[in-house]
Amino acid sequence: MTDMVVATIQTSIGPMTVGGNKEELYFINFGSLKETQEWVDKFVTKHSLGMVSEGKTALFVETEEAVENYLKSRGEDQLQRIPYRLQGTPFQIDVWQALVSIPYGETSTYGDIAREISRPKAVRAVGGAINKNPLSILVPCHRVIGKDGSLTGYAGGLDKKTNLLKIENKTHSNMQSSL
């Protein structure tokens, strides 16, 4: 069992909850700790993470700065320096690793991801794994779109997905011009 620290970090698109140890993140999700507490409790139990304490580690401060720099269009390299641990099923981890390979400013479809992990018929399962991604922004599930180019679901909401894609200078015909 590994002990874990959790905290809320502040970003220009709202609070995010982070969890991990001193060396690596286990999750980063949209919403404050108060808003995500039930999800955090389930994650901790599922992955046998032991004692949970609230506080800000140096890694959390670095993550807060990196996320904010990314949001201010200072490049993805800000996020790539944040160490994290993928915790999920082997299939989920394969999907999440494929997400990391989507280049900054580009998008991919669920079918593309399924083919990349050599499971071309597992498109729906890929969507399910993406939905379970515990590392929002760091593992860029916002870069996955529908096969017709439409923006599809996003745990943080389609408004955040739209904003993240705009930050990466990716335009879609479906994007709302007011965002």
Buried b (16+ CB within 10 A) or exposed e, 77-99: ebbeebebebbbeeebebbbebb
Cite the beta strand spans of the chain per DSSP E: 4-11, 14-20, 25-30, 52-54, 108-109, 144-145
Which of helix, strand or coil describes residue 33?
helix
Evaluate whether 119 touches 112 at the Cβ level (below 8 Å): no
Active-site positions read 141
Token pair of 127 as six digits: 């969507």
